[in-house]
Structure 1
């Protein structure tokens, strides 16, 4: 990995100068949910250091810690929503119609893609999901991050969010930061929680049962088991599309709404996590943790217009009907049927030439009202990690602490699509298909060592080093034959494969594997009672693109008993995933308001190369942070500035319209269904960005109203600027990266606790953002800032039973409604309901509205 040496030297100088007056800045808005602020400040962090675990006020890096008690008090149990409410720089969108992104929702820390945040479980690297967000809304286009939603909140001892680049410590992906999910390790006790909720609109009903049990594992160990089982109904924030309404008025039996625009249905969502530990004596222990998670998801797709849908109903935008000749060798041709009415099935030429002629076929005979596919799948996530740690007692290694571990993680996405057709099969087409599977499999082996050395400083120097071996594979399994079959009507212009999500062909199936190995050294130097420095260096070699070396320098200084400063400088990287480098797929998306089929090809495919694609290289980053923490009586105030420069960012290219020359080359390369493809995209390293921002957190604890009160304010300003890009990325995608997320976010909370009753109130502020609908610039506007409120009231019947009622977005604040702009009108976007939605899908608060819930917990 090449680096500008003079630039690094300059930044190192800045960092070291700042280090002389720098210290750790740590706090979290989640502290507002804890009545004992002092206890919260003394929480112990594992992430960010390989020395002895530190309280967050002594850590050399900024860390937010959300404790298990805080997570339990929150009304929402979805891990993504919990983190979104407590970490202002984290954004999570509700995806209405987003292909695979509806199955595993992406999350964005500090405005960067979901796979720019490293996820750890008990300090060990978590495998990524098999789902690649092909329609990721600009920022997450093509992102492939871990599936955080499978982690049940009831299993958590705490969640640690390291707000700093850490690739030199942990390897690839830690550009935006690191999230470490720490499992409970109690050997006794537990809880059972039942929760039910529903949106104010009367849909999206969710029922959930979760539990945690701690048990002794012999006299010297523990077994802690957690589970979560839930079902969630779909939501609909739809309006009837004008074209569907017109067909209904013309006598066709069109559903109202014809297209569901909302959150998908989630069924039989089960997660089981186990955490086990055993003391082996003589400062040695064995550990193991594992999970099994599975869920079924089903959501809506776009409505297929029975006059205009290409390669199914028409080939010329609805001027004439697509009619197939079922007996092409009999010498009698089928007629050309112009579409001259609001319902072609009522036209006499259609009745005579198609409906009454068994040799001629149009899909209007089978599905006269059009159709709306449902897309979904079965998502399975499993993992196991085993290891042993302790201290060498004899010989040359005496005094060295060790941690040997191995882990295997697997994510499988089995895709399903319902209520669609393989048009090339004509009247013999099935209506439901299994297009195939993606499987992500990762294996990790780690050997980590720590030695404390007396170097004449205030305390002993911690020197850590280690080795890591990682193997990642991405497997594509072909779909059922009907999902990709080339039917007899192909030559007549009918589309191949299950419409909306064609199946993976056997030629595209296979296992793609990459291996990498790493070595690192990490040191913490307590130079004096008030000054601590840290340094890390990591070398990593991949069998695909080569090697990379990254460093990190951090420092903290306690200027006074009440004032501290901190600073860090680091380089980082994110390796392209094996899936991004090899996957191919056909997807249906709206382009300029028209439903088209687009092929995603590997970047090394000859067609991708013809259009500008090259073999993927790792992203590179340079980060700088500077912060301070100040205690004023009972007020705890922190502020952080960060600057993250990322070059050669990996993303899905803009959709590139195909020419006849391109189609000829595609046919020669063996790409199926070429005539129905309008566009091609591929993954590419095409643009550079600079992200900067400020995190500000303040907490105040006092006695109020004969009870204990904690007030908290958390604010984040985040701004991303695209410094360089080409036409491969496209100007509109750049605009989405820069403007889709709000630049300003804040939360203000008040937690009030009495003997039997506790009340939690939170105000959520979302600044202006770019409202976008159906990924089209003709719909884009600057949406207004908005404030929502959450309220939660709990009553303790005794030490064991707690009843909670509450509401999120209690005043049912509506998301920004879709507007028709002048530019939109000039592009043919005549009505806000054209594509069936009411609200911009980029709304940072979601679009479902208010949610009320009731929860009963039994603790033992």
Structure 2
């Protein structure tokens, strides 16, 4: 079925939705876990008031219950949220180690601009910084995939600036994961699937168990084990088809899939085991102890660029690997977090004292590789290397107080006060000696002694929040927060929120807020050498003396202003609709620079070559292009957009009921100011066209989702259409000429059919991207540059910024046993 036919399907489904709403107004039945249940959920995100439902919130909060999350074919939490919230875009592919820790971003901003909470407590970030270019560059947010999907009761997504309420990082919004606290029942879910065009084989088993260890307590345990296989969507490697290559290296032609020997363009493989607990014990009506935590262990490995036989040779010129080799970057990762606290009431005050500690510890390794210089100099090289370690920790202690006062208004005034203290560390440990000898291990050199170091930050904050209703129809909320950082001084941010209900059918709401985000420690101090077969680029830490040689003197904090206005409508027939318009202005935004060449590219900048030497890096002398990348505050941006959510549940006479959902996001970012280039760059800019396009064009301009879940007796059918707007990038072979690549508007169909076999057993089969749609290929003239120069870059044929991935369709089966 082509895209035109699928558009007919979408239009037909939308028409059916309208007919169903009009014809079945008197036959509404809300299925458990449906749209109405989500709207009626009492939320704790975006407000300090108690008992507030999502549908009554003055700020836009989208609630996803466990049923909605588990209808997604992939069993990871990032995909579960991204396929339900159109302004939340998941990363499909990353460069180097970023392919081992995929992330997501909200409202087109950086992953670092969305704060992740678990049961309302701040979650620590990953230690694996996304370094290479693209829309997810610089991301070091919380890794959602270390939280079992089966542990979650529901997710509250606050799509609004909330730095004054929750602290820095909440410029785009907040994702609050609420864990199960039932204390009874449970389930076991087994899922398996793979891509239509091979690769990506996935298996997942997860279990959840609720119990009551003692009276007045609950304990919910969850465990998940998941594995995922490599995929390959790359083109052939032109190096192995060069004249005379086959005669010189005949063993290469015998490789599987020759000449498609380069496996870099595809998914990493991984094995993930994660567990969680959520415990509470109520001493009395006025005092409760609670604790929750997660632990995860992960192995992941991604193929890097194929190395030809002549890359690693002995003194006589004989290759160590006659057929060449495919190195891998691999991580062994331990991630854990634990929270504990007491909450209760005293003197009319609700209080909550808690502490949360989290750590992400990653061992970076280079496998099936070699150190060319070490082998040439000594006749020996390991094939597996320990390239170093990333370690990130966060310890947060908070005190929250709230009191309701009857001051003669329509509702009691809620006064909330609080304080927070947080300590963070980020550490890089060096690689083993062989991994960092001269230019280091092929594909991923070990971290040098000059890269290594441990860095710390402390900050404290106090806040106040007042929520009031002067009249029944009006809700107002004012928040102010003061934060003090050990390395960035202090700041004060504020937020005002209001909602007015004209009647039961229509309400308007709006917010205005300021924000502040200190750079992550990783953005400030990460240092490494990123290499390819003919490239070597240093990621220069902006706080280093070497950075000053190119005119960068450390990082400043970002400042933001956020406005939104919207409405909530209940036109009847069980329909609820919300539309929110927003604008987010960020001053001194932290972004990655473009490519700054020290040799080989255009322009070549002497200060760049000097900075590489000053930073202590030794680059491969055989490569064509060398240079640096660096994080800097050189831009201001403005993001404008709109979020639409329409939900309804209608009866289908004696044929069950249908949950209808229509969601949409329109989003556009504009660079409003570019700082003058430093004098040291001799007229060149820190930001090439690729860096600017990444901010302004690489996200889909709009995303529309239309879904229907039909439930009839034991059968349910979930059909969803997602329309992704166009996205663009520009690329250059050597910095002299730029070529635009465009992903055209694409319609993606997801379908799942489930049947309740017994009271306890439910079976489902389904497909994501049912019609196996791929993004448009990269610009053909741009790719021809690689082909003409016999360059391995020709292998990458699909844009890695594709919002629906580069792997095509995925089909799966799932079996659920509930007890």
Which deviates more from structure 2 when the two are superposed, residues 45-54 or residues 743-752? 45-54
Local SS of the residue matching 1:733 = helix
The TM-score, its normalising length taken from structure 1, stands at 0.85
Q: Any conservation in 2 of the 1:77–1:152 contact (CA below 8 Å)?
A: no
Residue 763 of structure 1: aligned partner:
721
Is the 1:32–1:711 Cα contact (8 Å) retained in structure 2? no
Distance 1:814 1:581, change over 3 A: closer
In structure 2, C-alpha distance between the alignment counterparts of 1:802 and 1:665, rounded to whole Å: 61
Q: In 2 relative to 1, CA 827–38 (structure 1 residues): closer, same or farther, beyond 3 Å?
A: closer
Per the alignment, residue 201 of structure 1 pairs with 197
Q: What's the offset of the Cα at 1:688?
A: 0.7
Compared with structure 1, are the counterparts of its residues 61 and 199 closer, same or farther at alpha carbon in structure 2 (3 Å cutoff)? same
Cα RMSD for the two superposed structures: 2.3
Say if 1:34 and 1:844 are closer, same or farther in 2 by CA, change over 3 A.
farther
> Match of 1:413?
362
Aligned to 2:417: 465
Structure 2 alignment gaps of length 5 or more? 1-28, 599-604, 676-684
Residue in 2 that maps onto 1:738: 696
Quick one: structure 1 residues 743 and 663, their matched pair in 2 at CA, closer, same or farther if it must change by over 3 Å?
A: closer
Residue 672 of structure 2: which of 705, 708, 723 is its match? 723
Larger Rg: 1
The residue that corresponds to 1:856 in the other structure is 815
Give the corresponding residue for 2:635: 687
* 2:99 corresponding residue in structure 1: 102
Which of 509, 512, 515 is the equivalent residue of 1:569?
512
- Conserved? CA contact 1:778–1:827, under 8 Å: no
Distance of 1:734 and 1:227 partners within structure 2: 42
1:615 deviates by 1.9
Matched residues in 2 for 1:371 and 1:782: separation? Answer: 33
Structure 1 residues 303 and 465: CA distance shift in structure 2, 3 A: same
- Structure 2 vs 1, CA of residues 832 and 744 (structure 1 numbering), >3 Å: closer, same or farther? farther
Q: Is the 8 A contact 1:223 1:276 kept in 2?
A: yes
- The 1:673–1:237 alpha-carbon spacing in structure 2 relative to 1, beyond 3 Å, is closer
- After superposition, the Cα gap between the structure-2 partners of 1:833 and 1:712, relative to the gap in structure 1 and judged at 3 Å, is farther
* 1:477 correspondence with 2:435: no
User: Given the alignment of the two structures, is residue 641 of structure 1 paired with residue 637 of structure 2, yes or no?
Assistant: no
User: Are the structure 2 counterparts of residues 149 and 67 from structure 1 closer, same or farther at C-alpha, using a change threshold of 3 Å?
Assistant: same
- Check conservation: 1:35, 1:753, Cα contact below 8 A: no
The offset of 1:119, in angstroms, is 0.5
User: Of residues 603, 624, 648 in structure 1, which corresponds to 2:563?
Assistant: 624
1:70 aligned onto 2:68: yes
Q: Secondary structure at the match of 2:55?
A: coil
The number of residues matched between the two structures is: 760
Q: Which residue among 90, 93, 96 is the counterpart of 1:92?
A: 90
Deviations 1:758-792 (A, max 9, x none): 11000111111115679987553222111011110
Contact 2:168–2:516 (CA under 8 A) maintained in structure 1: yes
CA–CA separation in structure 2 for the residues paired with 1:35 and 1:514 = 42
Task: Give the distance between the partners of 2:199 and 2:626, measured in 1 at CA.
Answer: 37
CA distance in 1, matches of 2:720, 2:228: 24
- CA spacing shift, 1:424–1:819, aligned 2, 3 Å: same
| Residue matched to 1:505 | 448
Distance 1:242 1:560, change over 3 A: same
2:545 is the alignment partner of 1:610: no
Native 8 Å contact 1:266 1:295 kept in 2: no
Contact 1:117 1:177 in 2 (8 A): yes
Local SS of the residue matching 2:363: strand
2:773 aligns with 813
Could you tell me how far apart the structure 2 residues matched to 1:775 and 1:270 are? 41
Distance 2:250 2:577 in 1: 63
Q: Structure 1 stretch 288-297 or stretch 811-820: which is displaced more?
A: 811-820
Q: How does 1:162-177 map to 2 (within 5 A)?
A: 162-177=158-173
Q: Deviations over 1:780-817 (max 9, x none)?
A: 32221110111101111222110111111111122222
* Cα distance between partner residues in 1 of 2:189 and 2:441: 42
In structure 1, stretches of 5+ residues that fail to align are 1-30, 314-322, 325-359, 393-397, 487-495
Which position in structure 1 is the counterpart of 2:710?
Answer: 752
Check whether the contact 2:549–2:611 (CA below 8 A) recurs between aligned residues. Answer: no
Compared CA separation, residues 792 and 666, structure 1 to 2 (3 A): closer
The superposition leaves residues 258-304 of structure 1 with CA deviations (integer Å, 9 ceiling, x where unpaired) of 21144434343111011000001141100000111111111111223
* C-alpha distance 829-388 of structure 1, shift in aligned 2 (>3 A): farther
- Specify which of 341, 357, 377 is matched with residue 387 of structure 1: 341
Deviation readout 1:69-92 (Å, 9 max, x if unpaired): 222333221111111111111111
Of stretches 774-783 and 56-65 in structure 1, the one that deviates more from structure 2 is 774-783
Give a deviation string over 1:801-846, Cα, whole Å, max 9, x none: 101111111111222223413x665787689985323322221111
Change in CA separation of 1:829 and 1:227 when aligned onto 2, cut-off 3 Å: farther
- Do the aligned partners of 1:32 and 1:712 also contact (CA within 8 Å) in 2? no
- Asked whether 1:539 is paired with 2:482, we answer yes
Q: Which residue of 1 aligns with 2:119?
A: 122
Q: What displacement does 1:669 show? A: 5.1
Shift of residue 454 of structure 1? 1.9
CA distance in 2 between partners of 1:668 and 1:766 (Å): 45
- Contact 1:209 1:229 (8 Å CA) reproduced: yes
- In the alignment, does 2:446 pair up with 1:443? no
Encode CA deviations 1:26-52: one digit per residue, 9 max, x unaligned. Answer: xxxxx9996754333211111111221
Cα deviation for residue 242 of structure 1 reads 1.8
- The answer to whether the 8 A contact 1:502-1:586 is kept is yes
| Deviation at residue 604 of structure 1 after TM alignment | 2.5
**What's the offset of the Cα at 1:367?**
2.9
- Distance 1:529-1:249 versus aligned 2 partners, 3 A rule: farther
- In 1, Cα distance between equivalents of 2:656 and 2:631: 56
Q: 1:235 aligns with which of 209, 231, 234?
A: 231
Tell me, what secondary structure is at the counterpart of 1:168? helix
**TM-score normalised by the chain length of structure 2:** 0.89
Mapped to 2, the partners of 1:691 and 1:122 lie a distance apart of 29
The Cα of 1:718 is off from its aligned counterpart by 0.3
3-state SS in 2 of match to 1:579: helix
Q: CA deviation at 1:744?
A: 1.0
Alignment deviations for residues 141-191 of structure 1 (CA, whole Å, 9 cap, x no partner) = 222111112222111100010010000000010011000001000111000
Deviation, structure 1 residue 101: 1.0
Quick check: 535-544 or 504-513, which moved more? 504-513
CA contact (8 A) 2:513 2:562 kept: yes
Shift of the alpha carbon at 1:453? Answer: 1.4
Q: SS of the residue aligned with 1:253? A: helix
